[in-house]
Amino acid sequence: MFSHTRQDFPSDFLFGAATSSYQIEGHAQGGAGRTHWDDFAQTPGNIADGTDGAVACDHLNRWPEDLDLMRDANFDVYRFSTSWARVMPEGRGPVNEAGLDFYDKLVDGMLERGLKPAATLYHWELPSALNDLGGWRNRDVAGWFADFTQVVMERIGDRVWSAAPINEPWCVGFMSHFLGHHAPGLRDIRATARAMHHVLLAHGRSTEVMRGLGMSNLGAVCNFEYAVPADGSPEAAAATRTYDGYYNRFFISGLMNKSYPADVMEGLGAHMPDNYQDDFDLIGQPLDWVGLNYYTRKRIAAAPGPWPHLEEVPGSLPKTQLGWEIYPEGLHAFLKRVHDGYTRGLPLYVTENGMAWNDKLVNGAVKDDKRIDYLDTHLTQVKRAIDEGIPVKGYFTWSLLDNYEWSEGYVPRFGIVHVDYASQTRTPKASYLALQKALAQ
Ligand code: FCB
């Protein structure tokens, strides 16, 4: 049971769930081009269970059932993404009409069911052909992304309720080019600095295209992780500041303050593209809202070696299936921090929040009480922020369906709906049923 109902939130507060294209659609179908995730997944050792997104949840064919699930949960809004390679298989040039038709039908399907379509243009599946050209390292990516934006939004931009260019610039830039955990799997500081900047440049170009098409309600979605020092030493405090800088401050500062934090530039400055400062007017153009994705807290210790001189160490809080510490207060902290320090009155949305658990289907039911508790305690923190006057306007849980969790494959289950991948049977979990009740009008 949830301790909250819809009535505890302002009457215009929106509830929704989020998904992303590569994680659910089935990318081997419908004429989609190859993506850098297909390449990454076919390289041994990158994916925990060796899988890829070829079939995933077969959402490409089962989307009517999935949208019915959204509607029947009493959600108001559905956050989905459009796959670049499905629409433009080579990333540039020829358009796969079947791909465009799919998103067109999907948007109409949402509207028919009374769901507001919240589009994200890029949730990580870069066409391989563009990765061949340097991908996010190449400044031209911003122009390619602007063209993709134009093609998609000329088709669906008249009907989407909101749009954001890119999901989680930190993951696109840092995690994928410095840590090597996600495609393209690089571990290179120069590639990282360039990708981190180009992803914001692409955001800016894409936003400009959408404004040009007359679209409104445009935003940006960043992810945040609450960082705490592993011990009381000054070194751990410094390491935590550095982590916080490249994770939690770099992108929001570029977007809202037209600058990058000086402490992050101590590490990345030497590797930035020439004259990157000239791009800030494009990057920092006005937005209508900012979305925060929040999951966890990290403990940070100092470590020898080159910048950033830090490492993550295990924490003591209860953890999810992925070992992520559960720390609901961090969500409130970031809503406050982003509002006070950056957005200053702009509407905020929690665009992702949820947890993985090793959910089991037993006699046709999934008892995911831990997830109910996770969502409920995080909603408490959202409400706390609203009560303090912070303009939080909506909350999306990650995710509607169990799905392809990137380098963790299909083992972690993040859905409020269970998916049996062999039969593609969907079964609403206890968390879905509890939400459905809490959100009833
Ligand atoms: C976020 C991603 C999403 C999913 C969740 C668990 O960082 O946006 O695709 O992987 O984490």
373-409 residue pLDDT tens: 999 999 999 999 999 999 999 999 999 999 999 999 9
Mean pLDDT of the chain: 98
21 exposure class (CB count in 10 Å sphere: 0-12, 13-18, 19+) = buried
Omega before 306 within 30 of 0, i.e. cis: no
Does position 366 have pLDDT exceeding 90, yes or no?
yes
355 exposure class (CB count in 10 Å sphere: 0-12, 13-18, 19+) = buried
Does position 123 have pLDDT exceeding 90, yes or no?
yes
Choose the residue to mutate in 121, 357, 398, 410 for probing ligand 1, maximizing ligand atoms within 8 Å of C-beta: 398
The CATH class of 6-438 is alpha beta
What residue owns the CA closest to ligand 1's atom 10?
A: 405
Does position 285 have pLDDT exceeding 90, yes or no?
yes
Share of the chain above pLDDT 90, in %: 100
Does position 304 have pLDDT exceeding 90, yes or no?
yes
Ligand 1 neighbours (beta carbon < 6 A): 20, 23, 167-168, 171, 223, 293, 352, 398, 405-406, 414
71-108 residue pLDDT tens: 999 999 999 999 999 999 999 999 999 999 999 999 99
Is 317 in contact with 325 (CB distance < 8 Å)? yes
Predicted local distance difference test score (pLDDT) of residue 102: 99
Please compute the mean of the pLDDT values over residues 273-299 and round it to a whole number.
98
Does position 410 have pLDDT exceeding 90, yes or no?
yes
Is 293 in contact with 222 (CB distance < 8 Å)? yes
Cα 328-196-181 angle, rounded to 5 deg: 65
Share of the chain above pLDDT 70, in %: 100
Number of Cβ within a 10 Å radius of residue 18: 26
Predicted local distance difference test score (pLDDT) of residue 365: 98
The encoded tokens of residue 383 equal 């409400």
Is 136 in contact with 193 (CB distance < 8 Å)? no
Number of Cβ within a 10 Å radius of residue 231: 12
Please compute the mean of the pLDDT values over residues 210-226 and round it to a whole number.
98
Predicted local distance difference test score (pLDDT) of residue 94: 98
The CA 76 to ligand 1 mean position distance, Å, reads 21
Please compute the mean of the pLDDT values over residues 210-235 and round it to a whole number.
98
Choose the residue to mutate in 321, 402, 406, 408 for probing ligand 1, maximizing ligand atoms within 8 Å of C-beta: 406
Give CA–CA dist 368/403, Å, rounded: 16
Predicted local distance difference test score (pLDDT) of residue 441: 84
Predicted local distance difference test score (pLDDT) of residue 27: 98
Predicted local distance difference test score (pLDDT) of residue 1: 81
The CA 398 to ligand 1 mean position distance, Å, reads 8
Please compute the mean of the pLDDT values over residues 258-280 and round it to a whole number.
98
- What confidence tier does 202 reach under pLDDT thresholds 50, 70, 90? very high
**What atom of ligand 1 comes closest to residue 167's alpha carbon?**
8
Catalytically annotated residue among 25, 325, 352, 405: 352
**What atom of ligand 1 comes closest to residue 406's alpha carbon?**
10
Q: Where are the domains of the chain?
A: 6-438
